[in-house]
Amino acid sequence: MSEPRSRLVRRVTTRGAAVVTATILWLGACAGEGEAGREADEPAQFALLTSGPVSDAGWYAGGYEGLLLLRDSIGAQVSHQQTRTPAEFDEAFRAYGNSGYDIVFAHGFEYQDAAIRAGDLFPDMYVVVSSGGRVADNVVPVTFTLEQASYLAGIAAAGMTRTGLVGMVGGVAIPPALGTFRAFEAGVASVRPDVRVLETFIGSWDDVSAAKEAAVAQLRQGADVLVHNTDAASFGVFQAVREATTAGDSAWVIGMNGNQNDVAPEVTLGSADLRLPAAFLEVAELWQAGELGGRPVYSGMEKGTVDYVPNPAVLDRYPPELLARIDEARRTILSGALNVPRVPYVEDEIGVQDGTGG
């Protein structure tokens, strides 16, 4: 029995090898033909790279929505790849460059070094790095001035706290995250300078339980309004506040990096919303106008990329004068009269320091 089987296996493996080899050769020949440059009337080609899953209902999902918006509004041909390691970044840029893509949205600061290398290699391709720090002729960091929305969130928090203590739970202490917290603090101080603000970084963007622990700790200290900037780990913060409220304490949570008012509607005060699609659209329009490149793009409240959105489900809990105060601050920012604090990290502004936020 083993004899016919082993002979069969040998036959199968030998033939299998032949078939696979032939297939590879054939496909190789086919693939070689399809790589010619794009004709002028063909649709634009946009690609998105993320380091996390686009099902995260947050940062990565927002980027993916932006990509889909470009497909639907401009009619661009789009593609997405989730990359895990720096080695994969180069490979993906190269693949898109070879295929003649117009813009690669590299959705995260982690891409910036590879983006510079890709920019060198493919002069006709733009690389747009979300929250990036390095600039080149065709490498464009996009900075979302979420600080503006975070400042308004600070005002809301100061208006709602009873204990005079509010908390901030952050993921990793990088400049974009730090910036939102400085702005939040400034917003709090603009209403009630006496309110103290706690700050915790959990060292991760996706450790839900660590985020929850940090939130619980702040609640125990007496904080009754929490804001987070922890991306996928934020569920832990929402969960902590929800449990505290169920247990009888009164506490609020403020979402960030997206409209999270639906995550826990009964305890969510509002969200420092980041509408990535708007920013993506802004970049695409700059590209169409031939104005993209050589300098960073700041996308904020002016284009509708960021805003503070009170949770409609609890709007009646806001004191009317607080809502008025938020609206007033928004107008001041848009008018350019108020520069929200931020932590600079883009190459251009490290020397220039301030003067870009609003």
Partner 1 sequence: MKGWKRKRGQAMLERRLPVGVLRWVGATGLAAGALGLTLLAAGVVLALGGYSPLRAGTALVSGALGSPDAFLSVTLVRAVPLVLTGLAVSLAFRAGVWNIGAEGQLYAGALLGAAVGLVSPGLPAPLHLPVLLLAAGLGGALWAAVPALLKTKLGVGEVVTTLVLNFVALNLTSWAVRGPLQENRGIFPQSDQVAEAARLAPLWEGTRLHWGFPVAVAVAVLLWWVLKYTPVGFRLRAVGAAPNAARVAGRIRVKPLTLGTFLVSGMVAGLAGGVEVAGVTYALYEGLSPGHGYTAIAVALLARLNPLGVIISGTLFGGLEGGAGAMQRDVGIPAAWVRVIQAFVILSALAIERWVRARPHSVFVHPPSAPGGAP
Q: Does 19 bind partner 1 (CB under 8 A)?
A: yes
Which string of x and - marks every residue 187-206 that binds partner 1 (by CB under 8 A)?
----------------x---
Q: Does 209 bind partner 1 (CB under 8 A)?
A: no
Query: Min. distance of Cβ 298 from partner 1 in angstroms?
Result: 17
The only residue of 16, 43, 265, 319 in contact with partner 1, by rule CB under 8 A: 16
Distance between CA 233 and CA 357 in Å, rounded? 27
Long-range contacts of 327-336 (CB under 8 A, 24+ apart): 329/151, 329/152, 329/155, 329/187, 329/190, 330/152, 330/301, 333/148, 333/151, 333/301, 333/358, 334/301, 334/302, 334/358
Which string of x and - marks every residue 106-145 that binds partner 1 (by CB under 8 A)?
---xx-xx-------------------x------------
Query: Min. distance of Cβ 262 from partner 1 in angstroms?
Result: 23
Q: Residue 13 or residue 250: which is nearer to partner 1 going by CB?
A: 13
Q: Does 353 bind partner 1 (CB under 8 A)?
A: no
Q: Does 73 bind partner 1 (CB under 8 A)?
A: no
The only residue of 38, 57, 65, 91 in contact with partner 1, by rule CB under 8 A: 91
Cβ 314 vs Cβ 268: under 8 Å: yes
Q: Residue 6 or residue 221: which is nearer to partner 1 going by CB?
A: 6
Q: Does 43 bind partner 1 (CB under 8 A)?
A: no
Q: Residue 11 or residue 317: which is nearer to partner 1 going by CB?
A: 11
DSSP per residue over 300-351, as a string?
-GGGTSEEEEE-GGGGGGS-HHHHHHHHHHHHHHHHT---------SHHHHH
Residues 6+ apart with CB under 8 A from 276: 62, 63, 65, 66, 130, 144, 305
Query: Min. distance of Cβ 3 from partner 1 in angstroms?
Result: 5
Q: Does 95 bind partner 1 (CB under 8 A)?
A: yes
Query: Min. distance of Cβ 78 from partner 1 in angstroms?
Result: 9
Distance between CA 145 and CA 62 in Å, rounded? 15
72, exposed or middle or buried, with CB in 10 Å at 0-12, 13-18, 19+? exposed
How far is CA 108 from its chain centroid? Answer: 7
Token pair 């928090």 is found at 157
Token pair 């659209």 is found at 281
Which residue ranges make up the site for partner 1 (CB under 8 A)?
A: 1-3, 5-7, 9-10, 12-14, 16-17, 19-21, 23-24, 27-28, 30-32, 35, 47, 51, 53-55, 79-88, 90-92, 94-96, 98, 109-110, 112-113, 133, 172, 174-175, 203, 345, 350
